Amino acid sequence: MKNVFLIKYGELAIKGKNRHLFENKLVSNVKRNLKEIGEFIVTKEQGRIMVEPVEDDSIDVESVIDKLGRIFGIVGIAYGIKDEEVSFEAVKRLARVQMEQIVGDKQVTFKVDTRRADKRFPMTSMEVSCELGAYLLDEFKDAIKVDVRKPEITLMVEIRNHTYVYLKTYKGAGGMPYGTNGKATLLLSGGIDSPVAGWMIAKRGVEVDAVYFHAPPYTSDRAKQKVVDLAKKVSMYTGNLKLHVVNFTDIQLKIYERCPHEELTIIMRRIMMYIAEAIAKQNGSMALITGESIGQVASQTMHSLVVTNDAATMPVFRPLIGFDKEEIVQIAKRIDTFETSIQPFEDCCTIFVAKHPETKPKLEYIKKSEALLDDIIEEMIEKAINEVEIINC
């Protein structure tokens, strides 16, 4: 009899002939994320991934569940016990051990739910549930009572290559295994939206790097640290995240000096796209990610987004495009980036904002204004890229 974590996954199960590639990647991600906690044996077994601690006594169960709950591709984590033997006697042994943990002075209601993946097992799922329920009622008498509609306890039995019994399933992050769907580069600011956008794309299996535009002395070291902290929050789900810090001060000052002030934000965004795309290509990314949402600010009107999009040649993923602010905030709270995002440190997108920014820019006019930088901008962009600071989060 051993303790075991049973990992359940969702849409991986509907994959065809390449399903094993996704499962293998998920196994690899589980091993990597649990490495710092302890030593585990991770195996695949008939639609489940089993995680067994090598030394039961030294494992912090809550820490393991927390780690597993942040791994994309996992929809549920159960912690239970395993018997190598596949028999009804093994089922009864495990069930008795589990029920002993919850039986106390007060009567509890329960039901048994059985999943028989091994169809060679002589009893049907219903027969196992009925006979096990009768056995437990006889063993624990007045301490438990059956309630199949709204039980306080559901005893889960899984009959596979081995026998498993557990009492509770914890929710996972869902999505697809990280690293199975290419790579993209996130434009990460210190706000609420961009960390959520990066998390959402990573949830679909896309490996994520990030670019942050820093403008000292107008943006402080505390503002930079805030973005590093946000990258680390996202990396708790991805396992690692490389943050590229771009010094944007000189470029911003030249935009402010030469371009119409009502167009500052949109021109700044376009040059950020130039730089982010160059860094993305250097690092093997296939797309950019932004936290833009239609109409949220002046630079995110339909007109502005069209003009910004023109600056990029690779696809730009905007997973929040149709979300309202409250929906974004709820996700930020769930992934624990919200409290960091609302720290009151400035970012370079707000330092040089015009009093009356253009909300319906026209591409031909923006390009004319941008041409005022033609004699210097290429060299400045190259310098900014060459001097990028890389932080592993």
Binding residues: 187-188, 212-213, 269, 291, 300
Angle subtended at Cα 217 by Cα 215 and Cα 223, rounded to the nearest 5 degrees: 65
Q: What are the b/e assignments for 191-204, b being 16+ CB within 10 Å?
A: bbbbbbbbbbbbbb
* Distance (Å, whole) CA 177 – CA 71: 7
* Distance (Å, whole) CA 27 – CA 32: 9
* Distance (Å, whole) CA 12 – CA 192: 30
* Distance (Å, whole) CA 95 – CA 249: 65
Q: How far apart are the first and last CA of the chain?
A: 39
* Distance (Å, whole) CA 287 – CA 309: 12
Helices (H) and strands (E) in the chain, counts: 14, 14
Helix (H, G, I), strand (E, B) or coil at 389: strand
* Distance (Å, whole) CA 388 – CA 245: 6
Q: What are the b/e assignments for 79-109, b being 16+ CB within 10 Å?
A: bbbbbeeeebebbbbbbeebbeeebeeeebe
Which amino acids are annotated as binding site for ATP, given as ranges?
Answer: 187-188, 212-213, 269, 291, 300
107-to-138, 144, 347, 378 alpha-carbon distances in Å: 14, 5, 58, 75
* Distance (Å, whole) CA 97 – CA 93: 6
Closest Cα partner for 246 from 115, 104, 347?
347
The whole-angstrom distance between residue 145's C-alpha and the CA centroid of its chain comes to 40
Two structure tokens written together for 179: 């690293």
